[in-house]
Structure formats: C-alpha cells, structure tokens
C-alpha cells in the first residue's frame, strides 16, 4: 500500500514531503519566533519608576500579538465580505472572531512591584493587588512557565506571564519583600 501516490506529472515522495514541509513552515516560523522572544524577555530588565518596578510585556511579543490580531481581524472582515456577497450566513466569521476575542482577553498584562505590594492591571475589572504582608505562596506553573502569587485572603491571583520581562528578578523581589515562608521556597 502506498502512502504517497504519484501525481499525473510523475511527482515523487520527496515532492510530497517538500509540500508538507512548506505547508507547515508558517507554524514552525511562529514557534521559533515565539521561542526567541520568550528568551529575549528573560534577559531584559524591568522599568524603574521611583521605588516601583514595572515588569512589562516584551516589545517583540507586543508586536507579534498585534500582528496576529490585525491578521485575524482582516481575515474576519474578508470572510464576512465573502459571506455577504454570496448571500450566506455570517456563522463562518464567528470562529476567527472567537479566537480574536480569546487572544485579546488573555493578553499578558504588566505587573508592578512597589512598597505596598504587587499590582497587576486587568482590562475590564479593577486591578489585582496583594500587599506584601498578605502574600501566602509563589509557585511556577510546570507547563506554562508562569509564576503565580496567591494572597492569604484568597482574593486575586497574580499571574506573571513568561512573556513579561525579568521573570527571575520578579521572583527574587517577591522572596525579598514577602513573608519568611516565601523566602524559604
């Protein structure tokens, strides 16, 4: 049984494999770019504003996320125009719009450390804040690489994305400022 059937023009298995590789090349390109940006974010330092440190989204990642969102919005508009011109329903637009909304709602947000504690901006609701005296634990997610800081009062969970600059510095600062239980972890 053959896996690859030759084309009419006498195509080979090698041509089929090359076509498969070319088809996956944009995915591989984005994976490599994402990995490079993530390594770059680890090397950068946060902004210092007086006594506060702002751990911001890496500029390369901001550009990449913006580019993908613009491409998704353009694709959604193209699908909508095509569906309207053919007199079809707009259900096909829901998929790229759903992905666009999911990306927008899960974009990493900056984390700020100051004398009062840790603060993370949120898009639609109030900022999450944990005072230094209220920090209960700090753990790094084994699969995501994100650092999670939880308060004793059970309020907001601060999620430090690996796409923010200076993750090791963030963890070091939390250990220094938080309770002795965190310093021993």
- The pLDDT tens digits of the residues spanning 21-76 come to 666 677 777 777 777 777 777 778 888 888 888 998 888 888 888 888 899 999 99
Mean pLDDT taken over the chain? 81
Residue from 157, 164, 114, 117 nearest 139 by CA: 157
CB contact at 8 A, 38 and 101 = no
Segment 148-175 shows an average pLDDT of: 86
Please give the Cα distance from 118 to 176 (Å, whole number): 13
92 pLDDT more than 80: yes
Are 145 and 167 within one domain?
Answer: yes
Is residue 4 included in any domain, yes or no?
Answer: no
Residues 17 and 84 occupy one common structural domain? no
| Residue 66 vs residue 20, higher pLDDT | 66
The boundaries of the domain holding residue 72 are 58-107
pLDDT for the residue 181 = 55
Phi-psi region of 154 (alpha: psi -120 to 50; beta: other; left: phi over 0): left
If pLDDT is split at 50, 70 and 90, which confidence band does 14 have? confident
Q: What is the pLDDT of residue 73?
A: 92
Residues 184 and 117 in one domain: yes
- Beta partners for residue 47, in sequence order: 54
Residues 133, 88 share a domain? no
Backbone φ, ψ for residue 155 (5° rounding) = -70, -130
Angle between the N-to-C axes of helices 59-86 and 94-105, in degrees from 0 to 180, rounded to the nearest 10: 160
Please check whether residues 21 and 91 belong to one and the same domain. Answer: no
pLDDT of residue 155: 66
Name the one residue in this structure whose structure tokens are 């650092």: 147
Q: Are residues 98 and 125 both part of a single domain?
A: no
State pLDDT tens for residues 128-148. 888 888 888 889 888 888 899
pLDDT for 74 equals: 92
Residue 26 resides in a domain = yes
Q: Is the pLDDT of residue 2 over 60?
A: no
Highest mean pLDDT among 24-38, 72-86, 113-127: 72-86
The encoded tokens of residue 71 equal: 């491409």
Q: How many domains does the chain have?
A: 3
Residues 149, 90 share a domain:
no
């Amino acid at each position: 049984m053959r896996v690859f059937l030759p084309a009419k023009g006498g195509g080979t298995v090698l041509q089929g494999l090359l076509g498969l590789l070319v088809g996956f090349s944009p995915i591989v390109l984005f994976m490599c770019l994402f990995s490079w940006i993530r390594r770059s974010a680890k090397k950068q330092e946060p902004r210092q504003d007086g006594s506060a440190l702002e751990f911001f989204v890496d500029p390369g990642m901001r550009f990449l996320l913006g580019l993908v969102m613009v491409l998704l919005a353009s694709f959604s508009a193209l699908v909508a125009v095509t569906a309207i011109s053919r007199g079809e329903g707009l259900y096909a637009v829901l998929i790229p719009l759903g992905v666009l909304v999911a990306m927008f709602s899960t974009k990493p947000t900056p984390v700020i450390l100051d004398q009062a504690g840790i603060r993370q901006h949120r898009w639609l609701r109030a900022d999450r804040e944990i005072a230094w005296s209220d920090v209960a634990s700090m753990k790094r997610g084994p699969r995501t690489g994100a650092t999670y800081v939880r308060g004793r009062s059970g309020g907001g969970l601060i999620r430090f994305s690996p796409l923010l600059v200076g993750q090791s510095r963030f963890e070091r600062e939390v250990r220094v400022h938080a309770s002795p239980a965190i310093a021993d972890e």
